[in-house]
Structure 1
Amino acid sequence: MKIRNKLTLLFTAMIAALMIAFALFVYYTYDQYRKDEYYRRIHQQAITKANLLFDTKVDSSTLQVIYKSSNDVLFQDEMAIYDTDFNLIYHDAAEIDKVKETRSMIDEILKKKEIMFEANNLQIVGFLYTHGGKNYIITAAAKDKPGLAKLANLRFTLITALISAIVIIFIAGRFFSKQALQPVSNLVDNVNEITVTNLDLRVNEGNGKDEIAELAVTFNQMLNRLERSFNAQKDFVSNISHELRTPLAAMIGELDLAAAKDRSEEEYKHVINLLRNDAQKLVRLINGLLNLAKANYDEINITLRDVRLDEILLDARHDIITSNKDYKINLSFEKEIENDDFISIHGNEYLLKVAFMNLMENGCKFSGDKSCNVIINYYKDKTVVRISDNGIGIAEEDISKIFTPFYRGKNKKYAEGYGIGMSLCNRIIHLHKGEIYVSSEVNKGTTFTIELPHV
């Protein structure tokens, strides 16, 4: 069953239950009031007739004739008078005797002074009556025809009103549930339009305040993650196929050239060295592509923990110097560290090390003296790392594109590369909720400033 139908039925059932409870309360309250009022009326009528009998000395037969022939409401009740010994003194219609008095009933009236009950659709009252110093027992019975007619009319009115109200409530509930769930229907329509070819589409977030809007916002956030992941995979496949083609083609060409005719041992060694250099380039390219792919993963898929930036920078410096004996990297603190938390961040040690190694290698690679300077500083809410060199610098028109994957500027003739390093650094820093800035002047040097929030 659809939620709209469930809501409609639930709403209708809840309101109907409340209305039925209210109607029953009204009905039974009115019925009880009618009974109590009619008991008092019968009691008063019985006293009036008893007074006529005892005070005005109206003949019993006359009262009986009046009872049998009158349609007056005042005389519609059947009355009987007994003494305390259960001797009948007067009866409106002894041959009918609707009450069927018994000795036990008389005793009960004597004990309780008054009783009221119903029998055979009659309301019956029995009470102790004192006149002229003597006690009498009076019973009276009557059927509240006008009251019962009003009660029946009230019952009909309530039932009719309930049925009409329930129908109206059902129709209104269906309408309002449709209106309330219309954003969900729109959301479903929007979702059905989104396919692998148009992951950039987003669902309408409505007013941005209610639960449906929260669902839409959450779904759009999920689409953002899916789109990033899908685009990262697509870019990775596209990039790796494009970039691997060149070194593989070169290796195949060298092998074909070597196999074209017999060559000397020196020539074969030369070809092997060429192949070895190409293979090393291929390894570096593959490592760069794999790191770029890992950095493009969603944050929730990357393990983060509290790490010290100075330790990561020292490890990165050690690895670079070990691999490149002619590189020089100077690491220093701009001011004394007062608290370890000032240089500790919540991040992934491997990815941060990859980013800093790329920046340090670039600084050394494009400097004439193969050196760069790394300075660590901190502020109230962030840690700052500046990596600078005195190299060839970056042209102004290249700075805006430096973080674009596989983009290589005018300085590409000075050193080999594939244009992966800077885009990889940019992605890693942003993955850690940080920022990276670059300032450069041609032939004077370049400075990369990395800001990361500390713990």
Structure 2
Amino acid sequence: MLQFTLLVLGIQLGFSSFIYYFNARTRAQRFEFRLANSATLAGRVLVRTHKLEVGMLGSLHRRDLLTLPLEQISIYGPDNSLRYSSSDNIDQATNRARLGRLTPGQLTSFPRVGRRETVGLVFSEAPNANYRIFVSAEDRAGWAQLRQLGLLLVLGNVGALVLTILAGWFFARAALRPVARISRQASRISATNLGRRLSEGNGRDELAQLAQIFNTMLAGLEQAFETQKSFLAHASHELRTPLTTLTGTLETALEYDTSLAEARQSMSQSLEAARRLTALTNGLLNLAKVDGALPAFTPVRLDECLNLALQAVRMQYPGREWRLAFGTLPAKTEADLFMLSGNAELLTTALLNLLDNAGKYSTGPVQTALAYADDHTLCVRVTDTGPGLSADELRHIYEPLYRAAGALARPGYGLGLPLTQRIVQRHGGRLEIVAAPGQGTTASVWLPAAPL
């Protein structure tokens, strides 16, 4: 409100100064014109009628030509001698000093002394008879009008300033009222009640848009908190199982194992539980690693990453049939195909997770396709013939440690797809899972390709 008031005040003062200056200039020009007319009239009445000769003034009195307030007229002859003055107390020394500044055919204005303004001109009666006339007076009416205008502008600016402050205060309160409401509502939202939302007002203005942005942010935070709760719950459960198994096996072995065979069996069970615990911990660490800072990306061949992932799953699932096909390829180009900017290790891990899920849940052949979706996008598609997923399961598959009902009897911890999704997102791509119960699952990855 203060800035707005100062801005309006500055505009008012600038506009008022312009008006006052313009009127002051107009008054000076107007009065100068009146002084010039008075000097011309004096020349016509006194010089042209030859009444300035000694004894020729006749019945003309000094004050007969005076038409302006406190007017003074002085006329000098061709020999620079004073021929006429309307008063005896005129400062003729100043007029004599100004004689050389007068030019024939040109009106000369002199600096104002107090309120008295003076002009001078050359009145030519004959080729060699130039009379110099000085006329001075005070523009009482003009100055009075200028004072009234100044007073009016001052009062108008003061009144406008008061109205501006009141209007600014009113509109500031009206404008900040929704902000105060949003602040009160936001202060009531905490980690325990993230389900509350801010009022979006009319849904059209800037404050409504701000409230919508906050509500979107709150929805994201609520989802993140729910995901974190689910993650912690699943992580606690998954970590508790191998730890419980490991602890129980060791306690049982310590208490009851009396032979080497029994001890070896307990050690084998403990080792398996420790391996499960290590695998789960490594999965959680990889998930956290992807969320952190990644090494600088380098040029990577996606087909090589896919081949490395296929080699790994062929060794892990030797009885499974793995098919690889190449789809649409771009027209002739001198650049290498299937190139993109990224991290080869992470991309191989992402593709290996998709292939591992296909091999884990499918008994039939697994179809893998690599192609260009367009000149700027690479696409990898993995299709299996497994049991598929329901719509509700598809909504949760990207949550860490979430496992579908059909996956509970299979090895794994529910970290593969969340890790793959984050790797793909960090590479500027997109992961999409399409599935239906009994119809298998298709996982598609789109990644930005290097320019061809």
TM-score tier after normalising by the smaller chain length: 0.7 to 0.9
TM-aligned CA distance change 1:307 to 1:184, over 3 Å: farther
Cα distance in 1 between the residues matched to 2:144 and 2:95 = 31
Distance between the aligned counterparts of 1:307 and 1:206, measured in 2?
50
Whether 1:19 aligns to 2:15 is: yes
Q: Does 1:43 align with 2:39?
A: yes
Residue 145 of structure 1, CA deviation: 1.9
**Residues 63-83 of structure 1: CA deviation (Å, up to 9, x unaligned):** 44755xx9x736952333343
Query: In structure 2, what residue type is equivalent to 1:379?
Result: A
Distance 2:118 2:58 in 1: 23
Residue number in structure 1 paired with 2:359: 364
- Counterpart among 404, 413, 417 of residue 418 in structure 1: 413
- Written as runs of structure 1 = structure 2, the 5 A alignment for 1:32-431 is 32-47=28-43, 49-50=45-46, 54=50, 60=57, 62-64=59-61, 66=63, 73=67, 77-94=71-88, 96-100=89-93, 103-109=96-102, 115-117=108-110, 118-131=112-125, 134-175=129-170, 192-199=187-194, 233-261=228-256, 263-294=258-289, 297=291, 307-321=300-314, 324=316, 326=318, 328=320, 330-335=322-327, 337-338=329-330, 343-345=338-340, 348-367=343-362, 372-380=366-374, 382-389=377-384, 393-394=387-388, 400=394, 403=397, 405=399, 406-410=402-406, 412-413=408-409, 415-425=410-420, 428-429=423-424
Amino acid at match of 2:122: L
Report the Cα offset of residue 364 of structure 1. 2.9
Q: Distance in 2 between matches of 1:216 and 1:436?
A: 31
Describe the shift of the 1:37–1:216 C-alpha distance in structure 2 as closer, same or farther (beyond 3 A): farther
Q: Using a 3 Å threshold, how does the CA distance of structure 1 residues 386 and 66 change in structure 2: closer, same or farther?
A: closer
Partner amino acid for 2:306? L
Q: 1:268 to 1:120 in 2, by over 3 A?
A: closer
Count residues in correspondence.
439
CA–CA distance in 2 between the matches of 1:153 and 1:188?
Answer: 51
Aligned partners of 1:408 and 1:418 also within 8 Å: no
User: In structure 2, do the counterparts of structure 1 residues 197 and 411 end up closer, same or farther at CA, with 3 Å as the change threshold?
Assistant: closer
Q: Which amino acid aligns with 1:378?
A: Y
Which TM-score applies when normalising by structure 2? 0.76
Q: Is the 8 A contact 1:84 1:106 kept in 2?
A: no
CA 1:198–1:73: 2 relative to 1, 3 Å: farther
Letter in 2 for 1:357: L
Question: What is the identity, as a one-letter code, of the residue corresponding to 1:343?
Answer: F
> What amino acid does structure 2 have at the position aligned with 1:154?
L
Q: Distance in 1 between matches of 2:96 and 2:390?
A: 122
**What amino acid sits opposite 1:155 in the alignment?**
G
How far the C-alpha of 1:277 sits from its partner, in A, is: 0.8
Which one-letter code corresponds to 1:22 in the other structure?
Answer: F
CA drift of 1:313 comes to 1.7
* Cα separation, partners in 2 of 1:425 and 1:111, compared to 1, 3 Å: closer
What is the CA distance between 1:18 and its match in structure 2? Answer: 2.6
Distance 1:336 1:125 in 2: 96
Aligned partners of 2:2 and 2:40: how far apart in 1? Answer: 57
Going from structure 1 to structure 2, the CA distance change for 1:50 and 1:335 (only over 3 Å counts) comes to: same
Structure 1, 333-342 or 347-356: larger mean CA deviation: 333-342
Give the Å deviation of 1:203.
6.3
1:239 CA displacement: 2.6
Counterpart CA distance in 1 for 2:368 and 2:52 is 128
Cα 1:245–1:441 change in 2 (3 A) is closer
CA deviations on 1:339-387 (whole Å, 9 max, x unpaired) are 6776345555444433332332233334558x64433343326444343
Q: CA deviation at 1:252?
A: 1.5
Deviations 1:139-182 (A, max 9, x none): 33322222222222222223333333344344445555666666
Q: Deviations over 1:252-277 (max 9, x none)?
A: 22122222245211111111000001
Which amino acid is 1:92 matched to? S
Q: Distance in 2 between matches of 1:110 and 1:428?
A: 92
After superposition, the Cα gap between the structure-2 partners of 1:394 and 1:14, relative to the gap in structure 1 and judged at 3 Å, is same
Two-structure CA RMSD over aligned residues (Å): 4.4
CA contact (8 A) 1:334 1:376 kept: yes
Q: Which amino acid aligns with 1:6?
A: Q
Q: Give the secondary-structure state (helix, strand or coil) at the position aligned to 2:440.
A: strand
**CA distance in 1 between partners of 2:313 and 2:384 (Å):** 15
Which range is displaced more, 23-32 or 113-122? 113-122
Give the letter for the 2:242 counterpart. P
Q: How much has 1:120 moved relative to structure 2?
A: 4.9
1:221 to partner: Cα distance: 7.4
Return closer, same or farther for 1:305/1:110 CA change in 2, 3 Å cut-off: closer
Unaligned runs of 5+ in 1: none
